[in-house]
Amino acid sequence: MKDRLQAFLPVIGVVGLFAIWSLVAWRAWVDPVLLPSPAKAFDAFWKGMKDGALGFDFVKTVYRTLASTAIAAVIAIPLGIVLGASERAYRSLEFVIDFFRSTPASAMFPLFLVLFGVGDETKISVAAFGAALVILFNVAYGVMNARKTRLLAARVMGASRVRVLFDVMLLESLPQTFVGLRNGVSLALVIIVVAEMFIGSQDGIGHSVFEAQQMFEMPRMYAAIFAAGALGYGLNLVFLLIERRFVHWSGK
C-alpha cells in the first residue's frame, strides 16, 4: 500500500500545476489572451504535433540537438580520455577549457555565423562547441579520478599501460562520461532552441515559439514551449536509461 502511494507521488505536482492553471484560466485572473486554458494549449499541441508545423519543427530540433551532441561526443570523449590519462596534459589545458566552458555559447553565435553562414551548420556547430567542452571536462575528470587501487590492481596482475587505459580507466570514467553526456545534451538543446529563434531560422521549436509569440497565437506558443520541455526531459531520460543499461555498476 505504501509502495503504491510512493509511485503516485510524482503525479501530485503535475495534477496540482494543471489544477492551478485551470483555475486561473477559468476565473480569468490573467488575461485569457495571455494565458489560455490548458485544454486550448493541449489542443494546439496535439494538432500541431499530429499534422501541423510543430511536429516538423520538433523533428528538426531533435535532429539538430542529437547531431550536435554526437559531434561533441565523438570529439570530446577520446580527447577527454587522452587528457585525463595524463594529468600534466590536462593541467596545461585546464584554464583554456574552464574559460570557454564558462563563456556563454550564445556569445559565439556571431563568430560561427561568419564561419559557417546562416544554415544548420552554424546552429549545430555552436551547440556542439558548448556540449563538447562539458563532455570533455567530465570525461577527463572521470579518467583522472579512476580509483588508484583499481589501477594498481590491474598493474599487479600484469596489465600493460594500454590495457590499464582500456580495461580500467575507460570503464572507470563511464559514469562521469554519462554525467557529461546528459549535461551536454541539455546544453545543446538550449543553444539550438535559442539559435532557432534568432539566426534567420525557418524551422525548429525555437522558431515555432518565436513565431507564435510574434503572431500572438498564445495556445500555439504554449504548445511549442511544452514540446521543448518534453524534448529536454525525454533526452535526459533516454541517456539515463542507456546509462542504467550499460553502466550498471554506477553509484554502487
- To the nearest whole angstrom, how small is the minimum distance from the Cβ of residue 208 to other proteins? 42
Rank residues 17 and 157 by Cβ distance to other proteins and give the closer one. 157
Note whether 163 binds other proteins by CB under 8 A: yes
Task: Name the region of 216 (left: φ>0; alpha: ψ -120 to 50; beta: rest).
Answer: left
Of 53, 89, 171, 230, the residue at the interface with other proteins (CB under 8 A) is: 171
Among 105, 12, 45, 53, smallest CA distance to 225 is for 45
For residue 103, give Cα distances in angstroms to 98, 99, 109, 197, 202. Answer: 9, 6, 12, 20, 27
Stretch that binds other proteins, among 13-21, 100-108, 164-172, 200-208 (CB under 8 A): 164-172
Of 28, 96, 153, 238, the residue at the interface with other proteins (CB under 8 A) is: 153
Question: How is residue 123 written as a grid cell?
Answer: 546552429
Mark residues 21-60: x for contact with other proteins by CB under 8 A, - for none: ----------------------------------------
Of 149, 162, 214, 245, the residue at the interface with other proteins (CB under 8 A) is: 149
Task: Name the region of 222 (left: φ>0; alpha: ψ -120 to 50; beta: rest).
Answer: alpha
| Cβ neighbour number for residue 168 with a 10 Å cutoff | 20
For residue 181, give Cα distances in angstroms to 77, 79, 251. Answer: 10, 14, 17
Of 1, 7, 12, 156, the residue at the interface with other proteins (CB under 8 A) is: 156
Residue 84 near residue 136, CB atoms below 8 Å: no
Rank residues 39 and 153 by Cβ distance to other proteins and give the closer one. 153
- To the nearest whole angstrom, how small is the minimum distance from the Cβ of residue 249 to other proteins? 4
Footprint of other proteins (CB under 8 A): 147-150, 152-153, 155-159, 163, 167-168, 171, 174, 247-249, 252
